[in-house]
Structure 1
Amino acid sequence: MSHLSLTGAGLTFAYDDTPVLRGADLTVAGGTRIALLGANGSGKTTLLRVLSGALRPDAGEVRVGGDLMRGDRAGRRRHRELVQLVLQDPDDQLFSADVRRDVSFGPVNLGLSEREVVARVDEALHLLGIADLADRPVHRLSYGQRKRVAIAGAVAMRPCLLLLDEPTAGLDPVGVEEMLAALARLEEHETTVVLATHDVDLALAWAHQAAVVAGGLVVQGDPVDVLRRADLLAAARLRRPWVLELADRLGLDPGPDGPPLRDLPGIAAALGARPVPAPATRAHRRP
């Protein structure tokens, strides 16, 4: 695995006569965290499917590391070795009797040796923190465990880029923390992660870049700048992150050189950096 960029330029796609993407652009620099946000039906999943090669765009192009994704069978197969998509519902991707066999499906179909398959499966299970589940029947796993097994199946392919559709949806707070810890381990192994989510607070705290899908287009930029735009949030049916709401109520705007307003430590740092007004003095009256 290595950090490669992924770009989609001028992407259009329609289901029958219903346009979903209308010239969408997205740039994923290698080694960056991208949070993809938008309303239900906005086209987030469609965009991920196009970027992964699962759907062919009506117009536009997809590139990995500057190389154009070819539309023939060999080109799309090569693209899927570099870019893996994990869907929101793990049961759409899990079908083997036990965890190890499910995670090994992709490497086996690459024609790898048994030794290499075992090594990849063990590596993926370790990175997702589920090595203890290797021999567990899939139907006996919790929802959060099934989500991590589905991601492990993609990781076993050793992709450069991992596209995750709502990986934290339906998880309790501990499950979310475990998922984010697993993603951090993947990043240490040079896998770039794109995460689609409705959780604006997670996007603000986690991502290096936020990309909002609205009206078939994508608005991308610094999470603080993007998630402060009231017009964009209204169009995407999203609320403003509570950290930014709190910062505005406190009158905090540290500027480009100040601490980032992404979480409570950022709020505390911004408060500490704000000049303290001099105490008011009471005027002395002459007798």
Structure 2
Amino acid sequence: MAEHEPLLAAESVSARFDDHPVLTGASITLPRGSRTALLGANGSGKTTLLRCLSGAHRPDQGQVLLAGRALRHDRTGLREHRRRVQLVLQDPDDQLFSADVAQDVSFGPMNLGLAEAEVRSRVAEALDLLAVTHLAARPTHQLSYGERKRVATAGAVAMRPQVLLLDEPTAGLDPAGVHEMLAALERLRGEGATVVLATHDVDLALAWADEAAVVADGRVRQGPVAELLDDAELLVRARLHRPWPLELAARLGLPGRPRHLDEMAALLQRSAQNPTEEAP
């Protein structure tokens, strides 16, 4: 499969949450190795879409495809799908249940029936990738909230999935915790993982993602992150606001769409050097 061909996709998915329709014909395409920010208001259907993509929720209509093959919601189909697609929930306490960190991270690989040496290798790799090796023997109930978030992510990473779906991975974290989580995601990127991050943080989405997928009115609008998060009409429908770099550039009449502080600084410097340059 070529690098930018779809790896995971949802086609015309309709689904309910608590018997209320939240997705009505939603589609999303996730190329191999991509970083996609999933955005939308509370109750828009972001988590339901992630659950559909992971196989945890069966849509009322439409289908989920992995490498072009439709997900089968039988025991064999779901087991195979979950070997390749992992979902990390927003609340780490929904996933952590073993006595200590190493045991918790080893749970998934052990359920695959892998040899003990392979399980140990996967656990060590995942703990290192999430920078929590020093916590291996720590009881899970003694972890900080940010540590629990990274350990829950390590448990998913130990499955060596092709796609990692993260529901609000930075929610509730202090600035240091956010930095540590983003550093872990950058290491995952280096390993070639396809990552979807559901978030309300438009500034984070703009700086981190390649593409955005905005859930509004039961459907998904997908495209380059800076383009979508500069679409005023879409932002109103999705109850989101324009990220600060795009808002500042617009107010100052600067050309381009800066995505983070460094790009904004460079844009301001160029503008100072070429004061007659006009915004497009």
Once the two structures are superposed, what CA deviation does each residue of 1:16-74 show, in whole Å capped at 9, x if it has no partner? Answer: 64211000011111111100011111100000000000011111111112222122211
Q: How does 1:1-287 map to 2 (within 5 A)?
A: 5-15=7-17, 17-254=19-256, 260-274=257-271, 275-277=274-276
**3-state SS of paired residue (1:21):** strand
CA distance in 2, matches of 1:16, 1:241: 32
Deviation at 1:264, TM superposition (A): 1.9
CA distance in 2, matches of 1:224, 1:191: 22
TM-score by length of structure 2 reads 0.93
Deviates more, 1:240-249 or 1:62-71: 62-71
CA distance in 1, matches of 2:267, 2:225: 17
Deviation at 1:276, TM superposition (A): 2.8
Contact 2:17–2:48 under 8 Å retained in 1: no
CA distance in 1, matches of 2:145, 2:17: 30
Residue identity over aligned pairs, in percent, reads 63
| Matched residue type, 1:93 | Q
| Matched residue type, 1:13 | A
CA distance in 1, matches of 2:222, 2:266: 26
**3-state SS of paired residue (2:203):** helix
| Matched residue type, 1:249 | R
| Matched residue type, 1:264 | L
| Matched residue type, 2:90 | Q
Deviation at 1:192, TM superposition (A): 1.1
CA distance in 2, matches of 1:164, 1:17: 24
**3-state SS of paired residue (1:249):** helix
Deviates more, 1:36-45 or 1:223-232: 223-232
CA distance in 2, matches of 1:145, 1:262: 28
Once the two structures are superposed, what CA deviation does each residue of 1:119-148 show, in whole Å capped at 9, x if it has no partner? Answer: 110010000000000000101100000000
CA distance in 2, matches of 1:136, 1:142: 11
Contact 2:88–2:166 under 8 Å retained in 1: yes
Q: Which runs of 5+ in 1 are unaligned?
A: 255-259, 279-287
Q: Report runs of 4+ in structure 1 exceeding 6 Å deviation.
A: none
Q: 1:277 to 1:16 in 2, by over 3 A?
A: closer
Radius of gyration: which is bigger? 1
Deviation at 1:188, TM superposition (A): 1.3
Once the two structures are superposed, what CA deviation does each residue of 1:78-107 show, in whole Å capped at 9, x if it has no partner? Answer: 011110000000000000110010000001
CA distance in 2, matches of 1:268, 1:123: 37
**3-state SS of paired residue (1:5):** strand
**3-state SS of paired residue (1:195):** strand
Q: How many residue pairs get matched? A: 272
**3-state SS of paired residue (2:147):** helix
Deviation at 1:253, TM superposition (A): 2.3
Partner residue, 1:285: none
CA distance in 2, matches of 1:185, 1:96: 25
Q: Which runs of 5+ in 2 are unaligned?
A: none
Contact 2:37–2:198 under 8 Å retained in 1: yes
| Matched residue type, 1:276 | P
**3-state SS of paired residue (1:168):** coil
